[in-house]
């Protein structure tokens, strides 16, 4: 393992002194389409066709709902709500009684008002201001500010984007807040919050693919958003919530037994998908990609600079989640042990990604630093790879544009925590 780490480090540092080179081009992910479904074995086609048709019906219903509201209120162009990064104002760490007090209930009311007809929420909404007004869009402007021709991030409709989504902690955070509000307010005062929570669970159930995974956006938006998404913890957030709901403890005690059972079944299908997505190289399991193709579960691309690859950050989150499961079966143990071995083999030491004057951040020799991991690794070689907005793929982070070097997390130390926890966990769960 030490030899492989030293070899990777030598390759990275040697590349820094070579002329710039492009080692590949990122190709767009494939959405779920009727044509792709028609190419499946005939026995698999009906359930996928039904899923796609249901998504399309829900999309039409969501858009018709807003259009009707706007017409009723004499609006031609709704003013988008205030945009913030993440889920501002939705605190999940307050004392339990706070969620039943005026400020907690005020935010819960705002959350309910922004719930889409399908039952989810958009991302980057400020939940501290005011309730959604009739005819007001369900989402802020979530369009990319850096679009180029044939950009992977170009939405089909710039006015209907990420409605609703699991991206940036959306939907799951709102549901957790509502559950805390229900627990703090009781049956009658919390009835509206309870109904919104249960409708949000139905949204999760409806969005789940026949293979157990979840898209980033539902109803489906097309493009890479249709992929089974681990990026930013999207699928793990869902699985963790379903695990809590199925247990029915703490603030989730109000959930009906039938719904808890449905959450448990959904959780198990999701875990089966997670295991199926673990990348296998030469017969050995490794880790996961940020997103996997909706039908064949192979690693898939997302934005222009996010290529099919083995990812350290999202995979670290997955392994930590798996090690927290009670009574892990042999499939969990095998997945965790394989991923831990991969983390151990791909760690980098004596380098740091840091500012280099006007050049911006660069990977530079830094004795004693580490371990760190590249965000992306090439499948099959385990060499770090890096993408740019023009879809070019590089094996040297110092080659990509300054804007991308400055604006993206190309290295992290998340697997360090995994390996520390694994050393203790593995004693109780031998392979």
Give the separation between CA 288 and CA 353, rounded to whole angstroms. 23
**Domain identity same for 160 and 230:** yes
Residue 263 lies in a domain: yes
Q: Are 174 and 167 in contact (CB under 8 A)?
A: no
Residue 163 lies in a domain: yes
**Domain identity same for 196 and 333:** no
Residue-by-residue pLDDT tens, the chain, 431 positions: 444 545 455 545 544 444 457 999 999 999 999 999 999 999 999 999 999 999 999 999 999 999 999 999 998 887 788 778 767 779 999 999 999 999 999 999 999 999 999 999 999 999 889 999 999 999 988 888 788 888 999 888 888 999 999 999 999 999 999 999 999 998 888 999 999 999 999 999 999 999 999 999 999 999 999 999 999 999 999 999 999 999 999 999 999 999 999 999 999 999 999 999 999 999 999 999 999 999 999 999 999 999 999 999 999 999 999 999 999 999 999 999 999 999 999 999 999 999 998 889 999 999 999 999 999 999 999 999 999 999 999 999 999 999 999 999 999 999 999 999 999 999 999 87
**Domain identity same for 195 and 99:** yes
**Domain identity same for 262 and 145:** yes
Residue 208 lies in a domain: yes
Q: Hey, is 352 helix, strand or coil?
A: strand
Give the separation between CA 321 and CA 317, rounded to whole angstroms. 6
Q: Are 362 and 353 in contact (CB under 8 A)?
A: yes
**Domain identity same for 150 and 255:** yes
Residues 6+ apart with CB under 8 A from 209: 51, 215, 228, 273, 294
Full-model pTM: 0.93
Distance in angstroms between the alpha carbons of the first and the last residue of the chain = 19
**Domain identity same for 119 and 259:** yes
**Domain identity same for 17 and 87:** no
**Domain identity same for 125 and 267:** yes
* Closest to 425 in 3D by CA, of 325, 302, 304: 325
CATH code of the domain in which 336 resides? 1.50.10.20
**Domain identity same for 149 and 256:** yes
Secondary structure percentages of the chain, helix, strand, coil, to 5 = 45, 10, 45
Q: Which domain holds residue 233?
A: 57-272
**Domain identity same for 164 and 221:** yes
H/E stretch holding 310: strand 310-311
Catalytic machinery residues? 168, 303
Residue 354, φ and ψ in degrees, nearest 5: -145, 170
């Amino acid at each position: 393992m030490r030899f492989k780490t030293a070899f990777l480090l030598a390759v990275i540092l040697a590349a820094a002194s070579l002329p710039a080179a492009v080692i590949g081009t990122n190709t767009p992910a494939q959405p779920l389409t009727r044509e792709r479904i028609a190419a499946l074995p005939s026995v698999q086609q009906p359930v996928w066709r039904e899923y796609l048709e249901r998504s399309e019906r829900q999309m039409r219903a969501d858009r018709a709902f807003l259009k009707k509201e706007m017409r009723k209120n004499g609006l031609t162009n709704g003013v988008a709500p205030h945009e913030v990064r993440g889920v501002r104002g939705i605190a999940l760490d307050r004392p339990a009684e706070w969620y039943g007090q005026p400020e907690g209930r005020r935010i819960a009311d705002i959350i309910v008002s922004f719930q889409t007809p399908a039952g989810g929420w958009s991302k980057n909404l400020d939940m501290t201001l005011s309730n959604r007004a009739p005819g007001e869009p369900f989402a802020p402007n979530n369009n990319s500010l850096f679009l180029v021709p044939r950009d992977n991030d170009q939405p089909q409709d710039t006015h209907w984007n990420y409605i609703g989504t699991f991206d940036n902690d959306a939907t799951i955070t709102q549901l957790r807040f509502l559950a805390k509000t229900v627990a703090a307010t009781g049956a009658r005062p919390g009835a509206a919050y309870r109904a919104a929570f249960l409708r949000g669970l139905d949204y999760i159930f409806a969005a789940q693919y026949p293979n157990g995974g979840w898209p980033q956006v539902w109803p489906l938006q097309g493009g890479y958003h249709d992929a089974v998404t681990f990026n930013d913890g999207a699928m793990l957030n869902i699985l963790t919530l379903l695990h809590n709901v199925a247990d029915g403890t703490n603030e989730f005690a109000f959930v009906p037994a039938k719904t808890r059972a449905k959450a448990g079944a959904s959780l198990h299908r999701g875990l089966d998908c997670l295991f199926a997505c673990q990348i296998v190289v030469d017969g050995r399991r490794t880790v996961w990609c940020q997103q996997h193709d909706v039908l064949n579960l192979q690693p898939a691309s997302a934005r222009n600079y996010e290529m099919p690859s083995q990812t350290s950050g999202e995979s670290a989150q997955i392994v930590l989640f798996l090690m927290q499961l009670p009574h892990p079966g042999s499939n969990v143990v095998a997945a965790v042990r394989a991923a831990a071995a991969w983390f151990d083999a791909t760690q980098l030491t004596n380098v740091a990604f840091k500012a280099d004057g006007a050049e911006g951040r660069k990977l530079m020799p830094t004795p004693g630093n580490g371990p760190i991991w590249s965000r992306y690794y090439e499948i099959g070689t385990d060499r770090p790879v890096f993408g740019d907005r023009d879809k070019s793929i590089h094996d040297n982070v110092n080659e990509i544009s300054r804007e991308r070097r400055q604006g993206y997390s190309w290295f992290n130390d998340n697997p360090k925590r995994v390996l520390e926890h694994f050393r203790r966990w593995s004693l109780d769960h031998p392979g």
